[in-house]
Amino acid sequence: MSNLAVSSFITVNDYLAREAESPIKHEYVDGEVFAMGGATDAHVTISLNLASMLRAHLRGGPCRVYITDMKLQVERANAFFYPDVFVTCAAADASEPLIKRSPSVVIEILSKSTEGYDRGDKFARYRLLESLQDYVLIDSRRRVVDVFRRHAKGWMLQPLADDGLLELPTLDFSCTMDEIYEDVTLESVTDEPDGEPELNPFFCGTASQRGAR
């Protein structure tokens, strides 16, 4: 994270007010604001595959599926994120049009520039969500899916075999690796940006820019 971004503290209220008028999305972490980079074809296709399957499976019930345009607040971390895909079954979330707070499943699509953050600092903040049961990481460069599942004594990693099933017991949902990666052309690692942050104007302060997703 950029030192310059740290020097330009932005309150939650300022972030929400100005984000509503911004042409691009920004994530917020404890006073720092980060512009979100563009997504690749593989990233978007994987997200749509999962969101479509989950939506079809959950239709008619209390759970709702959201994609990257919906903000997710992690109040205990003083943060707002735009997960690639997430599901919430909370009645309070259903009545709130702009922000969700109680996901049961969060899915992030990994790229070279975001993998370290998604596995590290972002996951540490997501773990503060008491409602969260499964955190799913799907690689856009190779057929690799990791599921972190909450247990009584903490979180357990469950990597998927190439012929395995992604199972989300909370949602009574499962799908194959082939379904996850349907119509996906896996990205070349050498074609991806290196993920170094770039500063760009944001509101009346500055923001770091994360690499392409």
Q: Give per-residue pLDDT as tens, 2-24.
A: 323 333 689 999 999 999 999 99
pLDDT per residue over 30-45, tens digit each? 999 999 988 899 999 9
Best CA proximity match to 105, nearest among 1, 35, 16, 175: 175
* Domain ranges, residue 46: 3-188+198-209
CATH number of the CATH domain containing 60 = 3.90.1570.10
pLDDT of residue 210: 52
In a domain, 146, yes or no: yes
In a domain, 193, yes or no: no
pLDDT per residue over 149-199, tens digit each? 999 989 999 999 999 999 999 999 999 999 999 999 997 765 554 443 333
Question: In this model, does residue 206 exceed pLDDT 60?
Answer: no
In a domain, 25, yes or no: yes
For the chain, how many structural domains are there in total? 1
pLDDT of residue 137: 98
pLDDT per residue over 64-121, tens digit each? 999 999 999 999 999 999 999 999 999 999 999 999 999 999 999 999 889 999 999 9
In a domain, 65, yes or no: yes
In a domain, 129, yes or no: yes
